[in-house]
Structure 1
Amino acid sequence: MSDIDTAAVPAFIARESFIELTARERAQHLLDAGTFRELLGPFDRMTSPWLPMQGIVCQADDGAVIARGTIDGEPAVVCAIESAFQGGSIGEVSGSKIAAALELALRDCERGTIVRPVIVFETGGVRLQEANLGLAVIAEIQAAIVALRRHVPVVGVIAGMVGCFGGMSLAAALCTRLVMTRQGRLGMNGPEVIEQEAGIEELDAGDRRRIWQLIGGEQRVASGLADHLVDDDAHEIGAAVRAAFAAGVPSVHRTEAVDRYLSLLASVDPRMISPGDMRVLFGSRDDR
């Protein structure tokens, strides 16, 4: 299901759940040991100016961890979203931290110093309390990803359990390569939103088996919309991220294969197609 070849995790290494880690711990695991250095951390008090107006207690890092270090000895930046704060939603401050980190990495790449960017997605999308500001900064994140991937692979990780939805699902789609667990989910609209807007006849948000059949990590990799399926293990996810960088920049990014996807979509009858049909139809990797 993937063209990334990762080495098996040695049996003597105890497995550690990546999903259960905080955003800060996830960033530490993805960087080489001893190289983690946080930028704009909690002691810098970069908090949302808007949430207190609505009676919401802020988090000192606004739910986004930005860390510099190395991956396989090469300079790297990890942007990890904390799902425990406001469901990982993107507001003005958290989004600006991610966008600025990617833009600084782009500046370094343009000057000849390649910086490996990783984004750990765990988000429902824009923060509703900061809607317009959040949408604007998500657009900046997307623009930075597109500019960066000309120089270096941009690697996204979707582990779970929140998944990746809304405008940030588009940011994930723009990544050069996506690493997902089976527990991870990826979609434009979350199941609850679809049920609310279209009715339970369209989608029962409580049908967990069906939800993961449609938008879970295994389905997304099998249908070519993500690249590497891994177990919920911090060592295995780290290995997949390193392998994604080793694979280099593809000649054509998934989001550049517009004609191919338009052709595939034109052949789909949404009243008839099943998750299995999607795997068969979209699973070809000719665009990579």
Structure 2
Amino acid sequence: MSTVATPVITPQPAPVLHDSFIELSARERARALLDAGTFRELLGPFDRIESPWLPLQGIVCQADDGCVIARGTIDGEPAVVAAIESAFQGGSIGEVSGSKIAAALELALRDCERGKPVRPVVLFETGGVRLQEANLGLAVIAEIQAAIVALRRHVPVVGVISGMVGCFGGMSLAAALCSYLVVTKQGRLGMNGPEVIEQEAGIDELDASDRRHVWQLIGGEQRALTGFADALVEDDPNALRSAVQRAFTQGVPAAHRTEQVDSYLDGLARIDPANVTPETMRTVFHANAALSSSKEQA
């Protein structure tokens, strides 16, 4: 009696009909990173999990609170993508949106602890905490950070900063905790945004309207060249997807950036406060990264 072999179906990348990752919505970005046909949204708009605080201040809610959580596969492996929507409140993190991210990462952690690895990706596009929900937002950002630290012991946690809002505030610390960080030239990463620095320290400290200078200081290319990001890619969905896939194939780093405290303190000690330029930062931290790498190999 003859038998018919069951065909092996390999998940294929999702077809991309747009040549810019930055111009995609959060939902489209998440879909672009997952294998074709595997995108499944959790707590989507029709579930209407909205902020209870914004209406009290006369602000119209968004049905997903500006955060998309999607399950699917990446290279055939189970994955979860948390994508922040910059078009809603500048991607700011409130109680609901932050809780969605934290819960998604905690569920991935639970699966990993049960021997079922899940590939977690966070698409950062945020100015940080939502001022209208400040204390609640800060608390949930701390939960996100704790979840990343716990999860990265099991699998790489990959962050993506593509632009144009960038990643600032408490969420910049969450990005720094990721195992690998993928950026574009258009992306920005910093604890405080240029406008905040100008407001608090004055225009002599930083002219937020000088876009060229701002990107030289905190843009994606600068962050990659100083070792604060791991991959610099073009603004292209296929390029971003490939970079995310490569990050997972590298496995968990021997030492995450946030575990290399002595190395970074040494780098800071070698900076001349009177001569801080993009070039000096590249020289110091590039050499610092090389030294750290050689110590790991030894």
* Pairwise same-fold verdict (TM > 0.5): yes
Tell me the residue number matched to 1:224.
227
Q: In the TM superposition, what are the counterparts of 1:47-196 in structure 2 within 5 Å?
A: 47-196=50-199
> Radius of gyration: which is bigger?
2
**Does the 8 A contact of 2:160 with 2:182 survive in 1?**
yes
Q: SS of the counterpart of 1:283?
A: helix
Identify which of 241, 256, 260 aligns with 1:253: 256
Say yes or no: does 1:28 pair with 2:31: yes
CA distance in 2, matches of 1:79, 1:269: 39
**Residue 250 (structure 1) shift:** 1.0
Deviation beyond 4 Å, 4+ runs, structure 1: none
What amino acid does structure 2 have at the position aligned with 1:258? Answer: V
* Residue deviations 1:12-65 (CA, integer Å, cap 9, x gap): x98710000000000000000000000000000000000000000000000000
User: Which residue of 17, 22, 28 corresponds with 1:19?
Assistant: 22
Contact 2:270 2:284 in 1 (8 A): no
2:202 to 199, 203, 211: 199
Structure-1 residue corresponding to 2:272: 269
Displacement of 1:273: 1.9
Please, which runs of 5 or more residues in structure 1 have no aligned partner?
1-12
Compare 272-281 and 186-195 and name the one that shifted more.
272-281
Structure 2 residue ranges without an equivalent (≥5): 1-15, 294-298
Instruction: Specify whether residues 265 and 85 from structure 1 end up closer, same or farther in structure 2 by C-alpha distance, changes over 3 A only.
Output: same
Given that 1:32 and 1:70 are in contact with CA atoms closer than 8 Å, whether structure 2 keeps it comes out as yes
Cα displacement string for residues 118-174 of structure 1 (whole angstroms, at most 9, x for unaligned residues) = 000000000000000000000000000000100000000000000000000000000
SS at match of 1:206: coil
Greater relative contact order, per chain length (Cα 8 Å cut-off, separation 6+): 1
Deviations 1:228-247 (A, max 9, x none): 00000000000000000001
CA contact (8 A) 1:161 1:183 kept: yes
TM-aligned CA deviation for residue 270 of structure 1: 2.2
- Given candidates 227, 236, 248, the residue that maps to 1:233 is 236
Contact 1:15 1:235 in 2 (8 A): no
Name the CA distance, whole Å, in 2 between partners of 1:259 and 1:63. Answer: 37
Q: Is the contact made by 2:91 and 2:125 (CA closer than 8 Å) also made in structure 1? A: yes
Letter in 1 for 2:105: L
AA at the equivalent of 1:110? E
Deviation at 1:249, TM superposition (A): 0.6
Q: After TM superposition, give the deviation of residue 271 of structure 1 in Å.
A: 2.2
> What is the CA–CA distance in structure 2 between the aligned matches of 1:16 and 1:47, rounded to whole Å?
32
Deviation at 1:70, TM superposition (A): 0.3
- Measured after TM superposition, the shift of residue 259 of structure 1 is 0.4
TM-score by length of 1: 0.94
1:177-234 deviation line (CA, Å, top 9, x unaligned): 0000000000000000000000000000000000000000000000000000000000
Tell me, yes or no, if the aligned pair for 2:189 and 2:219 is still in contact at 8 Å: yes
What is the aligned partner in structure 1 of residue 217 from structure 2? 214
Question: Counterpart amino acid of 1:230?
Answer: V
Report % sequence identity.
Answer: 77
Aligned length: 276
CA RMSD of aligned residues (A): 1.0
Amino acid corresponding to residue 233 of structure 1 in structure 2: D
Q: TM-score, normalised by structure 2?
A: 0.91
